[in-house]
Amino acid sequence: MAEFHIPFFRPAIDEDDIQAVVETLRSGWLTTAGNVKALEAELAAYVQAPFVNAVNSATAAMHLALAAWDIGPGDEVLTTPYTFSATATVVVHLGATPVLADIRAHDFNIDPAEIERRITPRTKVIIPVHFAGESCAMDEIMALARPRGIKVLEDAAHAIGSMYRGRMIGSIGDATAFSFYATKNMTTGEGGAVASFDEAFSERVRRLTLHGMSKDAWNRYDAGGSWRYDIVEFGFKDNLTDFAAALGRSQLAKLDQLTERRTALAQRYFANLRDEEHLILPGFSEENRQAWHLFVVRVRNESSPVPRDDVIRQLAARGIGTSVHFIPLHYHTAYRKLGHWRDGDFPVAEKAFEGAISLPLFPDMTIVQVDEVCEALREILSGV
């Protein structure tokens, strides 16, 4: 990656972030303690949900949420093929069955009509993924889920700070998972959280996060805590470290600023590429606030003189890094082996994937760099 003079991504870590981590390291408390508690409270206020559990990844957050709802063999969990593997892997690990529903072409988000077609009496959970930070059709999804007693777990790995029709992502579904992975809009290196409205659920997640220990056991980290604990059920080991949480608090404090920066860069991409006939620009709704985790364009492979893969190669040759989000789940070997799907099952997702390129977008990117990426794209797509 070192050869890219405009990388696809670079994390936004400043001196305040470094200081926050260093102070925590000096404090002597390395694992889950005060910073984790404080991060949970600050996240709860930010995403407008009463309960937040900070954990060590979004993958863990989703796994714990499903486990806390006792999802297991015989249960079906509906999600999109247009996501990172983690969204569906956690379903498989619990012994439940992932069911995939195709996306909408304009914003790559799961299509409520496709969800409805695939709901069965075994459907227990729907996991919408807010692709690139654009909110899914939550009103429609909740209206399908609620009367049937189906839970909604939002995969908001791309969507911290996003809003759906004036409501924060995190304040809508039964539970919402966020990612603080290195490349996400705010980071703790590795980390994540699950927001919810249900105290009993949140307490169960807390127990499952740390070996299934009784609630009191968590207090053994407090001064004067005791050595005594009880394993109430079989849990996992998904807790967040306190220095990661310190980084998270520092990042959260400036998240809105980082999102504004992403938005300005996205607007520049739109202004520059509006008239490029060989590209389809990302769709979004004016009713929502988009966190712009990704800026994904689609090459019109039918008409473009240069197909998507060559565009990526030629951008790389000019020192411009890109990525592709996502390879549809049913294209992967492990998913193939489940035997549920074949090529052609999700035509909208397949077509989206064939044209998709994620362009460089990170808070420290400059407008001049956006212009350079666009100029390169235009030259490449002219085919000369």
Ligand X SMILES: *Cc1c(COP(=O)(O)O)cnc(C)c1O
From 88, 129, 217, 296, residue interacting with ligand X (rule: CB under 6 A): 129
Give yes or no for a contact between 300 and 280, defined as CB atoms under 8 angstroms apart: yes
From 20, 43, 78, 86, residue interacting with ligand X (rule: CB under 6 A): 86
From 40, 76, 111, 155, residue interacting with ligand X (rule: CB under 6 A): 155
From 8, 69, 82, 84, residue interacting with ligand X (rule: CB under 6 A): 84
Dist CA 109 CA 103 (whole Å)? 5
In the complex, what is the shortest distance from the CB of residue 183 to ligand X, in angstroms, rounded to a whole number? Answer: 7
> 88-127 mask for ligand X (x: CB under 6 A)?
----------------------------------------
Q: Which is nearer to ligand X, 24 or 57 (CB)?
A: 57
In the complex, what is the shortest distance from the CB of residue 66 to ligand X, in angstroms, rounded to a whole number? Answer: 13
- Only one residue has tokens 């247009």, namely 82
Sign of CA dihedral 225, 226, 227, 231: negative
Residue 248 within binding range of ligand X, rule CB under 6 A: no
Q: Which is nearer to ligand X, 58 or 172 (CB)?
A: 58
Residue 35 within binding range of ligand X, rule CB under 6 A: no
Dist CA 72 CA 12 (whole Å)? 39
Give yes or no for a contact between 98 and 81, defined as CB atoms under 8 angstroms apart: no
Residue 239 within binding range of ligand X, rule CB under 6 A: no
Residue numbers annotated as active site: 184
Dist CA 364 CA 4 (whole Å)? 15
Written as one string, the DSSP assignment of 318-359 is: TTB--B-----GGGSHHHHHHTS--TTSSHHHHHHHHHEEEE
In the complex, what is the shortest distance from the CB of residue 134 to ligand X, in angstroms, rounded to a whole number? Answer: 12
Residue 57 within binding range of ligand X, rule CB under 6 A: yes
Residue 188 within binding range of ligand X, rule CB under 6 A: no
Give yes or no for a contact between 321 and 3, defined as CB atoms under 8 angstroms apart: no
Structure tokens at 262: 């992403």
Q: Which is nearer to ligand X, 179 or 290 (CB)?
A: 179
Q: Which is nearer to ligand X, 59 or 358 (CB)?
A: 59
Residue 173 within binding range of ligand X, rule CB under 6 A: no
Which of the residues 338 through 377 are near ligand X (CB under 6 A)?
none
From 49, 157, 320, 359, residue interacting with ligand X (rule: CB under 6 A): 157
Residue 245 within binding range of ligand X, rule CB under 6 A: no
Instruction: Give the alpha-carbon dihedral of 144, 145, 148, 153, to 10 degrees.
Output: 160
DSSP single-letter state for residue 277? T
Residue 241 within binding range of ligand X, rule CB under 6 A: no
Residue 189 main-chain phi, psi, to 5 deg? 85, -80
In the complex, what is the shortest distance from the CB of residue 282 to ligand X, in angstroms, rounded to a whole number? Answer: 15
Of residues 4, 126, 136, 83, the one with CA closest to residue 356: 83
Dist CA 136 CA 115 (whole Å)? 12
Residue 87 within binding range of ligand X, rule CB under 6 A: yes
Residue 181 within binding range of ligand X, rule CB under 6 A: yes
Residue 159 within binding range of ligand X, rule CB under 6 A: no
Give yes or no for a contact between 252 and 46, defined as CB atoms under 8 angstroms apart: yes
Spatial CB neighbours of 275, under 8 Å, sequence gap ≥ 6: none
Structure tokens at 222: 């407090």
Q: Which stretch binds ligand X (CB under 6 A): 78-86, 236-244, 267-275, 276-284?
A: 78-86
* Interface contacts to ligand X, rule CB under 6 A: 57-59, 83-84, 86-87, 129, 155, 157-158, 179, 181, 192
